[in-house]
A = this chain, B = another copy of it.
Amino acid sequence: MADRTKPSPVNVFPARRPTIRDVAARASVSIGTVSRVAGGSARVAEATRARVLAAMAETGYQPNAAARTMRTSRTRTIGFLIPDMANPVFSRVAIGAEPVLSAAGYMLFAVSSNRSPARELAFLEAAQQRQMDGLIVTLADETHGPVVERLGRIGVPLVILDRDVPVAADVVYSDHARPIETLVKQMVAQGHRRIALITASEKIRPGRARAEAFRKALAEAGLAAEERLIRSRAQTAEYGAAEAHDLLTGPKPPTALIAGGNEIFQGALRAIRLLGLSVPRDLSLAGADDRVLAELVDPPITVIDRDMAEVGATAARMLLERLDGLDAPPRRVLLGSSVVLHGSIGRPKGKR
């Protein structure tokens, strides 16, 4: 039996979204009090609070975020810019960051730039106009002037992932040098003298760091770095396949190959398969950033592996510290990478 003394929870005129004013009227309090209850902060008499909460439930009140932002200039929103959201290496970062941020009351919104600096600029502009409270950013090309400039003026806490950008922001980056060094050493120890590297463009830190580490490791092994064996222009599967094919069918082909980058790794595998080469008999191989693939192909391939969710969680924590008012010089956090060994690195042909 319906209790006629209680107002019906069904609104007769639900066209307009209820505002703080509707709730106030229903609870017979002022809008200030409703605001205090909604905000949860200031002290309100228990009985009043209960009346207001009931009125909120009955009207289906939802605070208007735009109005809040008008007053407070805060949105409880973090933007996450990634070059390619379909690449798990990037999207896993979001998986790691999200729980940290949501626990602190922030929503994480991911945007994929599709590796286009123009889209990156559009994102930064949108983030600024929407007054996002903080940003986590992975650039497609850290040499792009307008993007870097805009990042410098962004005016909100910013964490940059694995890029060297001349901007006063916190950075989380991965150790690319150590795994390359490990792999080169292992290949050299097996007797390889002609080792090739395919990796991302040197316009982004990972490509640069891997190429540099590669040259250094070769030098330390007493081997002359042959620039023809270093390919670092792009990070697509197509690029990986094309360069692998070119390397392996060219004069004096390498006996060992490091495919740095998950898409490059896929492409290189395809080229190797197409050429009918057997790993590690015809070619020793190491990949990166795709353990699943590495372990399911035959034979399983030794891979560089990174915990991208940890990258995301770390970035989120650093951002929260800034949002909490931390005023410190830009910080840089280096996260380790590991090498997962499988049997894909053997002795070069003719040396067994």
Which residues of A does B touch, CB under 8 Å? 62-67, 69-70, 75, 77, 84-88, 91-92, 94-95, 98-99, 102, 107-112, 114, 119, 122-123, 125-126, 128-131, 237, 266, 269-270, 273, 292-293, 295-298
Known: A129-B64, A297-B296. A114 touches B86 (CB 8 A): no
Known: A62-B129, A295-B270. A109 touches B112 (CB 8 A): no
Residue among A63, A77, A109 facing the most chain B CB atoms (10 A cut-off): A109
- Verify A98–B86 contact, CB threshold 8 A: no
* Bound: A87/B92 CA distance, A: 9
25 residue pairs from A and B, CB less than 8 Å apart: A65-B130, A66-B66, A66-B131, A70-B70, A75-B130, A77-B130, A85-B85, A85-B91, A85-B95, A87-B88, A88-B88, A91-B112, A94-B112, A98-B114, A102-B119, A107-B122, A109-B110, A110-B110, A266-B292, A266-B296, A269-B296, A270-B296, A273-B296, A292-B293, A293-B293
Note all chain B residues with C-beta closer than 8 A to A94.
85-86, 112
With both beta carbons as reference points, the residue of chain B lying nearest to A60 in the complex is identified as: B153
Q: 15 additional contacts, CB 8 Å, given A107-B126, A266-B292? A: A62-B125, A62-B128, A65-B131, A66-B70, A70-B70, A85-B110, A88-B88, A91-B91, A99-B114, A107-B122, A109-B111, A110-B112, A237-B292, A270-B295, A293-B296
Known: A64-B131, A292-B266. A95 touches B108 (CB 8 A): no
Note all chain B residues with C-beta closer than 8 A to A269.
296
Note all chain B residues with C-beta closer than 8 A to A65.
66, 129-131
Note all chain B residues with C-beta closer than 8 A to A67.
66, 70
With both beta carbons as reference points, the residue of chain B lying nearest to A70 in the complex is identified as: B66
Note all chain B residues with C-beta closer than 8 A to A95.
84-86, 112, 114
- Cβ distance A51 to chain B, nearest Cβ, rounded Å: 22
Give which listed residue, B77, B91, B110, B297, contacts A298 with CB less than 8 A.
B297
- Cβ distance A260 to chain B, nearest Cβ, rounded Å: 17
* Bound: A126/B78 CA distance, A: 13
With both beta carbons as reference points, the residue of chain B lying nearest to A266 in the complex is identified as: B292
* Bound: A266/B77 CA distance, A: 35
* Bound: A69/B129 CA distance, A: 11
Note all chain B residues with C-beta closer than 8 A to A102.
119, 122
- Cβ distance A100 to chain B, nearest Cβ, rounded Å: 12
* Bound: A94/B266 CA distance, A: 22
Name the 5 nearest CB pairs between A and B, nearest first: A109-B109, A66-B69, A110-B110, A65-B129, A65-B130
Note all chain B residues with C-beta closer than 8 A to A75.
66, 130
- Cβ distance A101 to chain B, nearest Cβ, rounded Å: 11
Note all chain B residues with C-beta closer than 8 A to A69.
66
- Verify B297–A297 contact, CB threshold 8 A: yes
Note all chain B residues with C-beta closer than 8 A to A63.
129
With both beta carbons as reference points, the residue of chain B lying nearest to A299 in the complex is identified as: B298
* Bound: A285/B321 CA distance, A: 50
